[in-house]
Each structure stands twice: as structure tokens, then as C-alpha cells.
């Protein structure tokens, strides 16, 4: 028998501690919340993905009256990137959200389980860790890879 723990490495940074590349991506994710269509939850999420060709692809959550038909910001961004830049590799993703009070969420917004699974596939295609920036109003959590956000992931069949 063996017990073990899997930990998630997180570096918390202030906005002015981000690298230039990280700042650009967090700015893009924050701006992408403007594309959210969230008449049901009123929770606006934006995601921005930096590709290896230098493109920044953005997405926002798109809700639907038939609730499960909607899509999260992260999947709208990664599927759009996959469809429009096939073969390009993801370098980094940033996520930001505006809460029901209309203000950016104070706490960093983390992707849901389904989005982690979807992003993991693109990380595997990239062949290298894809950094994840979870933006909050006054702090940004920097996670070194999608895999570290999804321990014991399903990835083989």
C-alpha cells in the first residue's frame, strides 16, 4: 500500500509582476469578457490563448436558453483556435471573469473540469506545458501547465 498526494503548483503574482507576454494575455482575457453572452448567469468569462505563431485567440462564454447547449469561455477559445489555426501550438492561456455585480471577480477564476479536459488535449498536441493564468482583480494565479490543474486526467483510450 502507498499513500501519496498530488499538489498543484501556483505562483501568485500582482499584475505588475507579470512578464510582458503574460500581461498582454491577461489584458486580452479581461477584454474578452466583453464578448460574453450570459443573460442567464450574468457571469461573464473571457479566455485568451497565445499560439506559437504569435496570434492571440479569444473566447467568451456563450449561454443558451437550453442551458447545457451553452459553452464556456475556455472551450469557445480553444475550439476556435483549433478550427482556425490547425496545427498551431498553444503557449499560454489566461482566464478572467466579471461577476454578477459587474466588477471583475476578486478571486482568480479557474476553468471547470470539462474545460480542463479540453485544454489538456491541446497541451498534449503542443508537446510542452501550456501555462495558465487565472486572473483575479488584484492577484493572478500562474499555474505552469494544464496537466497540473487536472491530476489523474483521462488521456488514453
Of the listed pieces 69-77, 122-130, 137-145, 147-155, which binds ligand THU according to CB under 6 A? 69-77
Which listed residue (38, 57, 58, 78) binds ligand THU by CB under 6 A?
A: 38
Cβ of residue 63: shortest distance to ligand THU, in angstroms? 5
Q: Which of residues 100-139 bind ligand THU (CB under 6 A)?
A: 111-112, 115
3 state SS for 72-126:
CHHHHHHHHHHHHCCCCCEEEEEEEEECCCCCECCCCCCCCHHHHHHHHHHHHHH
Q: What share of the chain is helix, strand, coil (3-state, %, to 5)?
A: 30, 25, 45
Q: Where does residue 65 rank: exposed (0-12), middle (13-18), buried (19+ CB within 10 A)?
A: exposed
Q: Of 38 and 50, which CB lies nearer to ligand THU in the complex structure?
A: 38
Cβ of residue 45: shortest distance to ligand THU, in angstroms? 3
Which listed residue (24, 41, 139, 145) binds ligand THU by CB under 6 A?
A: 41
**Cα(first)–Cα(last) distance of the chain, in Å?**
26
Candidates 96, 93, 104, 98; CA nearest to 137 is: 104
Cβ of residue 135: shortest distance to ligand THU, in angstroms? 13
Is residue 74 annotated as part of the catalytic site, yes or no?
Answer: yes
Residue 73 makes contact with ligand THU by CB under 6 A: yes
Interacting residue ranges for ligand THU, rule: CB under 6 A: 38, 41, 43, 45, 61, 63, 70, 72-74, 111-112, 115
Amino acid at each position: 500500500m502507498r499513500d501519496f498526494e498530488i499538489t498543484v503548483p501556483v505562483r501568485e503574482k500582482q499584475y505588475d509582476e507579470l512578464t510582458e507576454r503574460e500581461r498582454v494575455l491577461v489584458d486580452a482575457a479581461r477584454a474578452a469578457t466583453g464578448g460574453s453572452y450570459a443573460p442567464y448567469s450574468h457571469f461573464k468569462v473571457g479566455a485568451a490563448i497565445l499560439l506559437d505563431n504569435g496570434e492571440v485567440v479569444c473566447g467568451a462564454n456563450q449561454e443558451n436558453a437550453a442551458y447545457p447547449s451553452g459553452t464556456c469561455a475556455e472551450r469557445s477559445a480553444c475550439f476556435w483556435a483549433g478550427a482556425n489555426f490547425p496545427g498551431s501550438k498553444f503557449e499560454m492561456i489566461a482566464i478572467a471573469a466579471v461577476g454578477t455585480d459587474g466588477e471583475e471577480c476578486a478571486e482568480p477564476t479557474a476553468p471547470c473540469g470539462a474545460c480542463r479536459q479540453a485544454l489538456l488535449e491541446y497541451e498534449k498536441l503542443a508537446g510542452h506545458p501550456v501555462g495558465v493564468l487565472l486572473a483575479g482583480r488584484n492577484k493572478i494565479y500562474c499555474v505552469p501547465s494544464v496537466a497540473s490543474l487536472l491530476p489523474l486526467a483521462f488521456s488514453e483510450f
